[in-house]
Amino acid sequence: MSSPLLTLPGAVADASGSVAAHYGEPVAEQRMLAAIVDLSDRGVVTVTGEDRLRWLDSLTSQSIAHLAPGSSAETLLLDPQGRLEHSMRLVDDGTTTWLLVDGEQAAPLAAWLDRMRFMMQVEVADVSAEWATLGQLSGADVDGAGGALLVSAAAPHDVPLVWRDPWTAVQEGGWQYAASVEHPGGAFPAAEILVARDALSALADRARAGELAVAGALALEALRIAAWRPRQATEADERTIPHELDWMRSAVHLAKGCYRGQETVAKVHNLGHPPRRLVLLHLDGSAGVLPGAGSVVLHDDKEVGTVTSSARHHELGPIGLAVVKRTLDTQAPLAVRVDEEGESPAELIAAAQEVIVPVEAGATAGVPRLPRLGAVQR
């Protein structure tokens, strides 16, 4: 179902056909000081009942048992081997916990949670058909401390449903692998605002009248990539563990109690290394082509990773996020293979990597590796 905001002048639909990729000027839209981004293709799951926060805390990676009304958090649902199954952007209003997820994740997440209720006093519902998500590009001070929300957030229980991205800083109990002193995430104070889905038409009318600035999803994606911010729909696959994407920064509490996948999280963090790592690619723009998700990253003609997302940034130019082998030399020259439909051979785009997750990530306990029993010492 397409959004009413897609009817605005200049709107060009994204690949899903449901929201606008841009409104005619995808690069200029990144520079807007304050604009709304239509994210109504994303999903919303609610959890109600007095046990809701304690129950979610027992299942997921972040410490949320005592989350205050109006506060935001990010948490991950992992499988028993520590691999990512669902990422959730979470805000509680004192009565209901609202889980904001990528659209295709809402139904399977709600179904899985519903099966896990057992004797807990909780109710789970996929309410994506009734509620819509809007992003706010400025993000900064969205609580009114130095700015204001561009639209009124829904507040069914008198608490505005605004999720403030915790990626701006390392959260309590978290860990940052990136060695950057000034992490670019600090300049990405994004927010997501929940509104009733039937309010989108009125917002489109405001935008059409020039009362509300709008930007497309491509603008938000470019800023997200530049901030090294992982997203399940793009950076994750069936093998992903949080360490690979530096997601320990905002979505994992290393000192909380037991949850599914915790053993792997602790073992890799303290004793091992993640098998892959996230990098930012600075791409050669001379070809005028952006590699799509899934494009192969090469070093000396050998596959060493995969592009997960790419964009044209208004300052950095063509950039992308990629997941590569952990042991790849950080100075290695890279190329990205772009397979254009109907074209042969595939085009190669030169790329330089900027380290996000370092090669030495993990093994924070500093336990020396002992020789295997019976191994010959030389």
Going through 314-363 in order, the beta strands assigned E by DSSP cover: 317-325, 334-338, 347-355
State the virtual CA torsion across 75, 80, 83, 87 in degrees, nearest 10. Answer: -20
The residues, ordered by sequence, that sit 6+ positions from 300 with a Cβ below 8 Å of its Cβ are none
Confidence (pLDDT) at 142: 45
Confidence (pLDDT) at 368: 64
pLDDT digits (tens, 9 = 90+) for 93-112: 999 999 999 989 999 999 99
pLDDT digits (tens, 9 = 90+) for 260-305: 999 999 999 999 999 999 999 999 999 889 999 999 999 999 999 9
Distance CA 236, CA 223 (A): 18
State the virtual CA torsion across 296, 297, 303, 308 in degrees, nearest 10. Answer: -60
pLDDT at 372 over 70: no
pLDDT at 86 over 90: yes
CA angle 59, 62, 64 (to 5 degrees): 85
The residues, ordered by sequence, that sit 6+ positions from 25 with a Cβ below 8 Å of its Cβ are 10
In this structure, of 134-148, 159-173, 289-303, 336-350, the range with the lowest mean pLDDT score is 134-148
Place 257 in a pLDDT band, splitting at 50, 70 and 90.
Answer: confident
Confidence (pLDDT) at 112: 97
CA angle 51, 112, 98 (to 5 degrees): 50
The residues, ordered by sequence, that sit 6+ positions from 311 with a Cβ below 8 Å of its Cβ are 218, 221, 222, 225, 290, 318, 319, 320
Confidence (pLDDT) at 138: 67
Distance CA 25, CA 6 (A): 15
Question: CA 260 → CA 54, 94, 99, 192, 251, distances in Å?
Answer: 14, 26, 18, 27, 14
pLDDT digits (tens, 9 = 90+) for 180-207: 889 999 999 899 999 999 999 999 999 9
Confidence (pLDDT) at 233: 96
pLDDT at 377 over 60: no
Question: CA 199 → CA 43, 82, 101, 111, distances in Å?
Answer: 16, 39, 20, 27
Top-confidence residue, 373 or 356: 356
Confidence (pLDDT) at 371: 63
Instruction: List, by residue range, all CATH 3.30.1360.120 domains of the chain.
Output: 4-235
Give percent of the chain with pLDDT exceeding 70.
93
Confidence (pLDDT) at 153: 96
pLDDT at 342 over 70: no
The residues, ordered by sequence, that sit 6+ positions from 149 with a Cβ below 8 Å of its Cβ are 136, 142, 160, 162, 191, 193
Place 145 in a pLDDT band, splitting at 50, 70 and 90.
Answer: very low
CB-based contact 191:165 (threshold 8 Å): yes
Average pLDDT, the chain: 92
SS3 content of the chain, % helix, strand, coil (to 5): 20, 30, 50
In this structure, of 6-20, 116-130, 199-213, 356-370, the range with the lowest mean pLDDT score is 356-370
* Peptide bond connecting 345 to the previous residue in cis, omega within 30 degrees of 0: yes
Confidence (pLDDT) at 236: 97
pLDDT digits (tens, 9 = 90+) for 1-28: 789 999 999 999 999 899 999 999 999 9
CATH class of 273-355: mainly beta
User: Taking residues 222-239, what's their average pLDDT?
Assistant: 97
Give percent of the chain with pLDDT exceeding 90.
85
What is 4-235's CATH topology? Gyrase A; domain 2 (3.30.1360)
Task: Kindly state the tokens that stand for 9.
Answer: 């002048």
Question: CA 276 → CA 263, 296, 355, 359, distances in Å?
Answer: 19, 14, 12, 9
Confidence (pLDDT) at 146: 37
pLDDT at 49 over 70: yes
Q: Where are the alpha helices (H) located in 28-176, listed in sequence order?
A: 52-59, 106-115
